Amino acid sequence: MLEQMQERGMVPSLVLLWGNFVPDTWMSHFVKNNTIPFEQIRPYIKYVVNRFKKFNPIWFVSGDVGFVDNETQKSEAAIKYYREVLESAKEVDPEGIYTFHINGESYELPDEFKKRISFFSYQSGHAQTGQNTAFTIPQKLRASGYEGPIVDAEICYEGLQKMHSQYPERYSAFEVRKSAWRAVLAGADMGVGYGSFGLWPLKELDDGVFSTGAVGQGVAVSLEKGEVKAPFDGTVVSVFPTKHAITLKSKSGVELLIHIGLDTVELKGKGFKQLVHDGDAVRKGDLLETVDLDLIKEAGFNLASPVIVTNPANFDKVASQTQGHVQAGDQLLLATVDQAKTEKVSSVSLA
More confident residue, 94 or 308: 94
Residue 17 has pLDDT above 80, yes or no: yes
CB 135 within 8 A of CB 185: yes
Per-residue confidence (pLDDT) for residue 72, from 0 to 100: 82
pLDDT tens for each residue of 151-183:
999 999 887 778 888 777 888 889 999 999 999
Per-residue confidence (pLDDT) for residue 346, from 0 to 100: 46
Residue 203 has pLDDT above 90, yes or no: no
Per-residue confidence (pLDDT) for residue 187, from 0 to 100: 95
pLDDT tens for each residue of 233-261:
999 999 998 999 999 998 878 888 899 98
Per-residue confidence (pLDDT) for residue 266, from 0 to 100: 86
pLDDT tens for each residue of 30-46:
777 789 999 999 999 99
pLDDT tens for each residue of 315-351:
776 665 555 566 666 666 666 665 444 555 544 433 3
